[in-house]
Chains A and B, each alone.
Chain A
Amino acid sequence: MLAAVSGSAIAEDLPSNLHFLVPGGAGGGWDGTARGTGEALTGAELIESASYENMSGGGGGVAIAHLIETADRQGDTLMVNSTPIIIRSLTGVFPQSFRDLTPIAAVIADYAAFVVAADSEFESWDDVLAAYREDPDSVKIGGGSVRGGMDHLVAALAFQAAGEDPLAVAYVAYDAGGDALAGLLTGETQLLSTGIGEALGQMEAGQVRILVMTGDERIPEAPDVPTLQELGYDVSFANWRGFFGAPGLSDERADAYAAVLSEMYDTEAWETVRARNGWTNFFRPRAEFVEFLEENEQVIGDMMRQLGVL
């Protein structure tokens, strides 16, 4: 087994079995990321085996508390998380933040997108802005998170960048992205704030049009969708997903995890998993990850304070 990874000096710092802690139920986004990463790592023989544990509850807080409480025997564990860990620690859903854990790396990202029904009168983002300027209440914006959650914040950021009052955003909270999409198609809302990954399939099926997205550059899967940046609005937003170790994890072990994840990107096993799920690679290891998280926290926190949810 060691022979297979002899090319890297990191093998000795890795556990023989890598344990993934998923703070939500089976079948969700976090679950898919952990299982996909585990599948790629074992498939490429970068690690020997992987195991998975689903621990839902408290918006991920139960798993975070568990990882911290049992930190001394969690050296082999990686917990998956994403943008909500920042939002929920800001709103105090759970008392901990990413600073109480050992950030390993962000691995993938999904850019936010604004979507309209295929038969909508809005042809471009500027059409939406024009209608919003006339009467903000005429543009109901649906999303799959609560008020003050990610989909709402992204919408507020986008309208603020256009010089509008983010507080006037008429946001309608749905239970999940699928419900929010149904709301858009029934005509209950006029605009949908969602992840571009979720919207691509719907666009191909001809049900919706994606007006704009929040990446720095256009993505190959949707070459016709402009970014807010190129339209002249200074917003970029990526919903990252990444991994965290237990607090007090040794630097050697943490670096080894980041190194093995970095190696993973070049493997065929990862490419299969990535393409199957339509993910965008977004690698930010260790120090870079911490820096990114702090910046992410700043932007989100500022907007939440403006919206009065903090």
Chain B
Amino acid sequence: MLEGILTGLSTVLQPTNLLMVMVGCFAGTFIGMLPGLGPISAIALMIPITYGFDPAAAMILMAGVYYGAIFGGSTSSILINAPGVAGTVATSFDGYPMARQGQAGKALAVAAYASFSGGTIAAVFLLIAAPALASVALSFQSSDYFALMVLGLTAVAAFAGRNFLKAIMMTVLGLMLATVGSDPVDGIPRFTFDKIDLLDGISFLLLAMATFALSEAIMTVLKREKIADAAKAATKGSMGSLKLSRGEVREMVPVVGRSSVLGFFIGVLPGAGATIASFLAYGMERNFAPGKKKEQFGKGSIRGLAAPETANNAAASGSFVPLLTLGIPGSGTTAVMLGALISYGVNPGPTLYTDRPEVFWAVIVSMYIGNVILLILNLPLIPYIARLLTMPSHILVPLVLFFSLIGVYLVSFNTFDLYMMVGVAALAVGLRLFDYPMAPMILGFVLGELMERNLRRALTVNDGSFSFLWERPITLGIMILTVIVLAVPLINALRDRRRAAAIVSSGEGG
């Protein structure tokens, strides 16, 4: 194995391959920053360019584009609440509130450090254990994925706060929206009103852009509490400041550690991926956070920002395990990369790391270098990018509207999507005026689709019986964990209430 790693290292250190890492990271970050264009489009654009390249060089380039795009995707989530990639939705939960409090620079820096750490730690795992992890990737069946999605839904609790009922209602709305389009098992159209444009369902990008970016821009105008107000409150200097206090760093370290491990293993599972990883990490960190810190989640918590940002990058690296060692793509992006690999004459599978060690190890080694390059590339730019928010809102708001609409149109080239987006945004503004939170809806939407597919598949495989819930150890384990996650806060709340009652009554007695 050491020999393989050295082969990989020497391959990566060739000047052309180093250039590939840099070009990939740069192109990926840039494309990722644009709301709408995600890693899939970025990689599909790269494929024709890479014909004729050495396979190792081509893969290094595409891997760079992939994690670069996830790295860059956090920027629009944090600054303008426009998560252009599903994996960065959770980033906006706390990143955007931080930016609004005049800490845009700090938020971007936290995201950059978290992404860097997640990516690097995951690369270490890959290096040590990639071939052995193939069996982990194959340990999850549909029923286990179903349980995992149910666990993911518990992250909704983070947004519940005082409006528990409203958060639940929005989650259900998200689950309902996920059922629009053709049925994943039978292909029968559901809630499409005979419109062919709805047959593929509502696109995630459209929903996220409409309910987050567009509605936020409109709210800014309606409420007249400009984004720029927050910016003015802080001086220009502190807006772009990257400085983290020692306490903040100390707070981040354990979060980053836990989220890297979680993110990586979720990424290794071909049926999960960066989005699920980011939600789970967010929910997990909220559960781990002590009292006061817990309440900050959703309002600009550093933990709440670092967790999903670490996890989504770790998961992106983790998804190379099933891709390279089994030839199974875990996401649309890795599916495109698999197609490219095969067309270069490289056959991914259990024999790849012995047959073509230069490709296998070079990709993994290039991830270290890529993550360092991303950090070097991004940190100096942050002060300038953060200053975007000091723009007067009569310029910023139209820009946000423009980029969100263009971003969605560029993916589908369908004008119907634009009308629907405006409609959804109007609805979202109405709901927000009555304090209905949008995040649980998106969470329900993303997880709902996967929950349905996996549940129905598990039922088919199990001849229609729900017995997998207690017969499969992994499913049972995750379900028990879910119950614990839900029950512990309830028990604590009850105990607190009883204690408070006891104090009151004993006070009366005395």
Question: What residues of chain A have their CB less than 8 Å away from a CB belonging to chain B?
Answer: 25-27, 31-32, 35, 53-59, 61-62, 65, 91, 93-94, 137, 140, 146-149, 170-176, 178-179, 181-183, 185-189, 201-202, 204-207, 276-278, 309
Residues of A within 8 A of B196 (CB): 57-58, 61-62, 65, 94
Can you name 13 extra interface pairs (CB under 8 A) apart from A54-B413, A179-B270?
A26-B40, A26-B44, A27-B335, A35-B48, A61-B196, A93-B187, A94-B196, A174-B457, A182-B326, A185-B328, A201-B327, A206-B350, A276-B343
Name the one of A62, A91, A188, A202 contacting B349, with C-beta atoms under 8 angstroms: A202
Write the residues of chain B forming the contact surface with A, with a CB cutoff of 8 angstroms: 40-41, 43-45, 47-48, 137-142, 182-187, 189, 196-197, 199-200, 270-271, 322, 326-329, 332, 335-336, 338-339, 342-343, 345, 347-352, 412-414, 453, 457, 460-461, 463
Known: A59-B199, A93-B182, A182-B271. A148 touches B187 (CB 8 A): yes
* B461 neighbours in A (Cβ, 8 Å): 140, 172, 188-189
Chain A to chain B: the 4 pairs with minimum beta-carbon distance, closest first? A205-B349, A146-B187, A26-B44, A27-B336
Contact partners of A56 in chain B: CB under 8 A:
200, 412
Closest A residue by C-beta to B344: A276
**Residues from chain B with Cβ under 8 Å of A61 in the complex:** 196, 199
Q: Are B199 and A58 in contact (CB under 8 A)?
A: yes
Nearest CB of A to B230, in Å: 38
Say yes or no: A205 contacts B197, CB within 8 Å. no
- Set of chain A residues within 8 Å of B200, measured between Cβ atoms: 56-59
Query: Once bound together, how far apart are the Cα atoms of A206 and B355, in whole Å?
Result: 12
A264 nearest CB across to chain B (Å): 18
Task: Verify A207–B350 contact, CB threshold 8 A.
Answer: yes
Chain A residues contacting B349 (CB-CB under 8 Å) are 201-202, 204-207
Chain A residues with CB under 8 Å of B329's CB are 178
- Name the one of B47, B186, B336, B352 contacting A147, with C-beta atoms under 8 angstroms: B186
Q: Which residues of A contact B348 (CB under 8 A)?
A: 201, 205
- Does B335 lie within 8 Å of A176, measured CB to CB? yes
Q: Which residues of A contact B199 (CB under 8 A)?
A: 57-59, 61, 93
A205-B350 contact in complex given A27-B47, A175-B184, C-beta closer than 8 Å: yes
Q: How many A-B residue pairs have CB under 8 A?
A: 141
**B138 and A182 contact, CB distance less than 8 A:** yes
Compute how far the CA of A186 lies from the CA of B182 in the bound complex, rounded to whole angstroms.
Answer: 27
Residue of A nearest to B346 (CB): A201
Q: Is the CB of B186 within 8 A of A146?
A: yes
Kindly list chain B residues whose C-beta atoms are within 8 Å of the C-beta of A26. 40-41, 44-45, 336
* Chain A residues with CB under 8 A of B342: 201, 277-278
B138 CB contacts on chain A under 8 angstroms = 182, 185-186
What are 15 A-B pairs at a CB distance below 8 A?
A: A27-B339, A32-B339, A57-B197, A58-B197, A61-B196, A93-B182, A140-B461, A147-B186, A172-B457, A183-B457, A186-B139, A186-B140, A187-B141, A205-B347, A206-B351
Give complex CA distance A53, B329 in Å.
25
| Alpha-carbon separation in the docked complex, A190 to B4 (Å) | 35
Assembled-state Cα–Cα distance A236/B88 (Å): 47
Pick the most buried of B336, B351, B457: most chain A CB atoms within 10 A of its CB.
B457
CB contacts (< 8 Å) of A31 on chain B: these are: 44
A62→B198 CA distance, assembly (Å)? 11
Residues B43 and A27 in contact, CB atoms below 8 Å apart: yes
Question: Could you say which residues of chain A place their CB within 8 Å of the CB of B328?
Answer: 178-179, 181-182, 185
Q: Choose among B137, B141, B326 the residue that contacts A188 (Cβ–Cβ < 8 A).
A: B141
Would you call B345 and A276 a contact (CB within 8 A)? yes
A26 to B343, CA, bound (A): 15
CA distance A182 to B43 in the complex (A): 23
B342, chain A: closest CB distance, angstroms: 6
Write the nearest CB–CB distance from A93 to chain B, whole angstroms.
7
Distance from B385 Cβ to chain A, minimum over Cβ atoms (Å):
28
Q: Which residues of A contact B141 (CB under 8 A)?
A: 183, 186-188
Among the listed A65, A140, A175, A277, which residue makes an inter-chain contact with B453, where contact means beta carbons less than 8 Å apart? Answer: A175
Cα distance A249–B241 in the bound complex, in angstroms: 63
Partner of A277, one of B271, B338, B343: B343
- Taken together as a complex, chains A and B put the C-alpha atoms of A215 and B263 apart, in Å, by 43
CB distance from B328 to the nearest CB of A (A): 5
CA distance A54 to B409 in the complex (A): 12
Query: Is B270 touching A173 in the complex (CB atoms < 8 A)?
Result: no
Let me know if A146 and B185 touch, CB within 8 A.
Answer: yes
Q: Is the CB of A172 within 8 A of B460?
A: yes
Residues of A close to B322: CB separation below 8 A: 182
Q: Residues of A contacting B336 with CB < 8 Å?
A: 26-27
Q: Is the CB of B457 within 8 A of A205?
A: no
CB-CB < 8 A to B47: which residues of A? 27
Q: Which of A183, A204, A276 is close to B142, meaning CB atoms less than 8 Å apart?
A: A183
Q: What is the bound-complex CA distance between A185 and B138, given in angstroms? A: 7
A205 CA / B324 CA spacing, docked (Å) = 11
| Interface contact A62-B139, CB-CB below 8 Å | no
Look across to chain A and name the residue whose beta carbon is closest to the beta carbon of B44.
A26
The chain A residue with its CB closest to the CB of B328 is: A182
- In the complex, which of the residues B45, B270, B352, B457 contacts A178, with contact meaning CB atoms closer than 8 Å? B270
Using Cβ atoms and an 8 Å threshold, which residues of chain A touch B463?
A: 137, 170
Once the chains are docked, how many angstroms separate the CA of A173 from the CA of B461? 10
Task: Provide the bound-state CA to CA distance between A171 and B137, in Å.
Answer: 23
Q: Given the complex, which residues of B lie within 8 Å of A188, measured CB to CB? A: 141-142, 457, 461
How near does chain A come to B424, taking the closest CB pair, in angstroms? 17
Cβ contacts under 8 Å, B350 to chain A = 205-207
**Least CB distance, B469 to chain A, in whole angstroms:** 16
A133 CB to nearest chain B CB (Å): 18
Find out whether the CB atom of B184 lies under 8 angstroms from the CB atom of A173: yes
Assembled-state Cα–Cα distance A149/B188 (Å): 11
